């Protein structure tokens, strides 16, 4: 009980820090659902589009930026090193840099940089590299506090595209979908020391990152592994339930993060998998609806607004047919309300009741989140093409990276 009490106290501290106004401290934002809670965005963009405040060249990788306490954390690869760079979020001026060797090679000739977005919590920066190196650094000065080589420690399979789970900090624990052997599919590490707190599950790793929520007075961490949904108690790793759900194709991946909506969980994947809505009960989970032709997220998460899901349906691989489309789906029924083919592959954020869509070609689109129809209010080219990393939105500034540059774009109202 003392250990669990310590975990709960740490969880409260972590929630308070990650909820600081203006921060985007982890993948998909403070609440891990792509929602921006600020009210400081401009009602109308300038004629030439929102101004670019600064831009910088970056190394390779699909890792998105994280923003906390006025600092931007960038995780990328330069030559044969994975590099953690801290910049002043408003000016782009460097504050510190830390690096370590990386020998990762992509079997398909794609990008060889890190995939996972950093997590900033309790004054620390947590990164997870493409080869499985988990690192903890001091946010203030970049000092390396500890590292764990999960590849050497747990012996996971390489998979198709290396390690890609963005760390989730829950209380005193850092949670990862490692996919290790001998019951080390899911692993929790002490965020102060790197010591293993618990491990569970024999599931292989996916490319999805975990999320967490309290339902029916019980705290859960939800992992979308290669085999399906696993719900665990983040304090001790006890598996609460396991819901098998994946493609019948071996050459497939699960990449979108579980989207928590009240007491329900929305999962989505490509490769003939589709979408499913599950409802958590006291004694497990039950299916509400599912379908293969509703909303198949490849790598970009859907967002939720007032009873409806908005997301990209279809594979984002270059040249794949049919091309991805933007869809609106009624949450309670799974009915597709509309689809639009003008967006293509993209990431989505929700600000108020408006969608912020950043396409792979570098176009930024703002549109009302409405089930009536898709109608873009504004569209502007803000950066070059080859955009796959998730952006961050903090204090009215959008931070987005292409294959070789990061941009800070002012979306604020100037107040």
Q: Average pLDDT over the chain, rounded to whole?
A: 94
Residue 82 has pLDDT above 50, yes or no: yes
Q: What is the C-alpha separation between 367 and 375, in angstroms, rounded?
A: 6
pLDDT category at 20 given cuts 50, 70, 90 is low
pLDDT for position 4: 56
Q: Give the distance from CA 52 to its chain's centroid.
A: 24
Average pLDDT on 124-145 reads 98
Token readout for 400 is: 């987005």
pLDDT for position 282: 87
C-alpha separations of 189 from 13, 95, 196, 208, 336 in Å = 17, 27, 4, 18, 41
Residue 12 has pLDDT above 80, yes or no: no
Q: What is the C-alpha separation between 315 and 178, in angstroms, rounded?
A: 25
Average pLDDT on 191-198 reads 98
Q: What is the C-alpha separation between 53 and 409, in angstroms, rounded?
A: 6
Burial 257-279 (b: 16+ CB within 10 A, else e): bbbbeeebbbbbbbbebbbbbbe
Q: What is the C-alpha separation between 346 and 387, in angstroms, rounded?
A: 8
Tell me the whole-structure pTM to 2 decimals.
Answer: 0.94
pLDDT one-digit tens code per residue, 310-366: 999 999 988 888 999 999 999 999 999 999 999 999 999 999 999 999 999 999 999
Average pLDDT on 174-182 reads 97
pLDDT for position 13: 43
Q: What is the C-alpha separation between 201 and 227, in angstroms, rounded?
A: 11
One fold for 35-60+300-387+389-415 and 62-205: yes
Residue 21 has pLDDT above 90, yes or no: no
pLDDT category at 252 given cuts 50, 70, 90 is confident
- In angstroms, the first-to-last Cα distance of the chain is 48
Residue whose pair of structure tokens reads 């308070």 in the numeric block: 16
pLDDT for position 414: 77
Q: What is the C-alpha separation between 172 and 341, in angstroms, rounded?
A: 44
Percent of the chain with pLDDT over 90: 87
Residue 14 has pLDDT above 80, yes or no: no
Residue 223 has pLDDT above 50, yes or no: yes
Domain coordinates of the chain in residue numbers?
35-60+300-387+389-415, 62-205
Average pLDDT on 90-94 reads 98
Instruction: Name the least confident of 10-24, 58-72, 78-92, 270-284.
Output: 10-24
Domain 35-60+300-387+389-415 has CATH 2.40.128.630: yes
Residue 2 has pLDDT above 60, yes or no: no
Residue 7 has pLDDT above 60, yes or no: no
Token readout for 405 is: 């540059």
Report the residue count for the chain. 415
Residues contacting residue 14 through CB under 8 Å, at least 6 positions apart = 121, 122, 169, 170, 171
Instruction: Name the least confident of 18-27, 51-60, 64-73, 318-327.
Output: 18-27
Q: What is the C-alpha separation between 361 and 351, in angstroms, rounded?
A: 21
Q: What is the C-alpha separation between 177 and 186, in angstroms, rounded?
A: 5
322: preceding bond cis by omega (within 30 degrees): yes
pLDDT for position 19: 45
Q: What is the DSSP letter of 225?
A: -
pLDDT one-digit tens code per residue, 391-412: 999 999 999 999 999 999 999 9
| Strand ranges for 27-80 from DSSP E | 35-36, 52-57, 66-68, 71-78
Beta bridge partners of 41: 412
Beta bridge partners of 383: none
pLDDT one-digit tens code per residue, 258-317: 999 999 999 999 999 999 999 999 879 999 999 999 999 999 999 999 999 999 999 998
Average pLDDT on 181-185 reads 96
User: Could you name the CATH architecture of 62-205?
Assistant: Beta Barrel (2.40)
Percent of the chain with pLDDT over 70: 95
Question: Given its phi and psi angles, is residue 163 left (phi above 0), alpha (psi -120 to 50 degrees) or beta?
Answer: beta
Of 364, 363, 414, 359, nearest in space to 388 by CA = 359
pLDDT for position 119: 98
Largest CA distance in the chain: 59
Residue 242 has pLDDT above 60, yes or no: yes
Token readout for 257 is: 């993060």
pLDDT for position 3: 54
């Amino acid at each position: 009980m003392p250990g669990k009490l310590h975990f709960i106290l740490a969880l409260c501290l972590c929630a308070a820090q990650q909820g600081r106004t203006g921060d985007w401290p982890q993948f998909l934002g403070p609440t891990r659902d792509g929602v921006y809670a600020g009210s400081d965005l401009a009602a109308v963009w300038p004629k030439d589009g929102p101004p670019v405040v600064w831009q910088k060249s970056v190394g390779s990788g699909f890792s998105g930026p994280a923003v906390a306490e006025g600092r931007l954390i960038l995780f990328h690869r330069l030559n044969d090193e994975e590099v953690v760079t801290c910049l002043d979020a408003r000016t782009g001026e460097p504050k510190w840099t830390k690096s370590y060797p990386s020998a990762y090679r992509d079997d398909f000739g794609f990008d060889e940089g890190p995939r996972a977005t950093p997590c900033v919590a309790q004054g620390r920066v947590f990164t997870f590299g493409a080869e499985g190196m988990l690192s903890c650094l001091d946010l203030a000065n970049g000092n390396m506090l500890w590292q764990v080589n999960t590849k050497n420690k747990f012996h996971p399979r390489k998979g198709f595209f290396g390690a890609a789970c963005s760390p989730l900090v829950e209380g005193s624990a850092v949670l990862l979908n490692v996919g290790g052997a001998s019951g080390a599919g899911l692993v929790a590490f002490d965020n102060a020391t790197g010591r293993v707190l618990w491990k569970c599950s024999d599931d292989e790793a996916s490319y999805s990152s975990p999320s967490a929520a309290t339902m029916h007075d019980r705290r859960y961490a939800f992992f979308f592994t290669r085999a399906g949904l696993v719900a665990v108690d983040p304090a001790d790793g006890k598996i609460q339930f396991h819901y098998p759900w994946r493609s019948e194709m071996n050459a497939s991946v699960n990449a979108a993060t579980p989207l928590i909506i009240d007491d329900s969980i929305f999962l989505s994947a490509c490769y003939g998998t589709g979408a499913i809505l599950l409802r958590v009960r006291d004694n497990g989970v039950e299916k509400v609806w599912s379908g293969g032709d509703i909303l198949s997220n490849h790598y970009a998460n859907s967002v939720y607004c007032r009873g409806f899901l908005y997301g990209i349906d279809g594979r984002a691989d270059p040249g794949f047919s049919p091309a991805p489309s933007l869809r609106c789906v009624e949450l309670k029924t799974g009915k597709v309300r509309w689809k639009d083919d003008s967006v293509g592959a993209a990431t989505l954020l929700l600000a108020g009741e408006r969608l912020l869509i950043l396409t792979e070609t570098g176009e930024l689109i703002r549109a009302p989140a409405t089930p009536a129809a898709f109608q873009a209010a504004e569209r502007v080219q803000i950066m070059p093409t080859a955009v796959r990393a998730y952006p961050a939105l903090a204090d009215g500034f959008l931070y987005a990276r292409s294959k070789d540059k990061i941009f800070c774009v002012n979306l604020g109202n100037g107040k």
